[in-house]
Structure 1
């Protein structure tokens, strides 16, 4: 049951993230940070990579190293595809290489956290 729920949450999160990135949003709340959009991208893709890492481990029974690689690649490619779609199929959005960089940095932080967690777990 937990595996199916986690898979459902991961798919739902991915669909919602894609939708939010591709629809026209009339007015976003101001957070008072000039790079707030990049912070959102960083955190959103950090969560995306973490969710898919856990899905690959729990649902698809991949070893953690392989699951981490797959989750990172999936998240980075997904982010690139979303940015391309923003520039090609939407009129209210534009592609931004800095968004891709923020996405990728969020994914890499997830990779680092999981890697360090595994190092600490192995040493115990």
Structure 2
């Protein structure tokens, strides 16, 4: 049951990110804070990676395996690159931006780091 919950929440978040990144930017309220879009990208991919790690941890039963982290990180990076390409190809008010890809990677890396620390501390507290 938990596996299904994590899957559907992860899939929902993926859809939300996809929609928000591909909607015409003139439909989004403008906020003039420098580099806010990079923070938003990092946040989107932090949550994206975090949720997919939780799902893949239910799929891969070995609590010491790094596979869920690697899969989720790579999925996040590939998803982010794909969105950037789609922005350049299919939208008129957005453009491809390598700095967005970098922000996505930072968010994904932070999620991996935070979850690894959490589960490492959780295991150490059991000893």
Alignment TM-score, normalising by the size of structure 2:
0.87
Counterpart-to-counterpart distance in 1, 2:97 and 2:13: 22
- Structure 1 position 111, deviation (Å): 1.3
Cα deviation, residue 62, structure 1: 4.8
Cα deviations by residue, 1:36-64 (Å, 9 ceiling, x for unpaired)? 10110011100000000001112x23544
Using the TM superposition, give the Cα deviation of residue 92 of structure 1 relative to its aligned residue in structure 2, in angstroms: 1.5
Look up the match of 1:98: 99
Structure 1 regions of 5+ residues with no counterpart?
none
CA distance in 1 between counterparts of 2:124 and 2:113 reads 17
Deviation at 1:33, TM superposition (A): 2.2
Deviation at 1:71, TM superposition (A): 0.4
- Give every structure 1 segment of 4 or more consecutive aligned residues whose post-TM-superposition deviation is greater than 3 Å: none
- Between 48-57 and 83-92, the greater mean CA deviation after superposition: 83-92
Give, in angstroms, the shift of residue 9 of structure 1.
1.0
| CA distance in 2 between partners of 1:72 and 1:62 (Å) | 18
Structure 2 distance, partners of 1:115, 1:108, is 11
Equivalent residue for 1:88? 89
Residues 118, 20 of structure 1: CA spacing in aligned structure 2 closer, same or farther, 3 A cutoff? same
Q: How does 1:42-121 map to 2 (within 5 A)?
A: 42-58=42-58, 60-63=59-62, 64-121=65-122
CA–CA distance in structure 2, aligned partners of residues 74 and 10 of structure 1: 12
CA-to-aligned-CA distance 1:68-123 (integer Å, 9 cap, x gap): 11000000110011001111121111000110000000011111112222332333
Q: Give the distance between the partners of 1:2 and 1:118, measured in 2 at CA.
A: 17
After TM superposition, the score normalised by the length of structure 1 is: 0.89
Tell me how far apart the structure 1 counterparts of residues 83 and 103 of structure 2 sit (CA, whole Å): 13
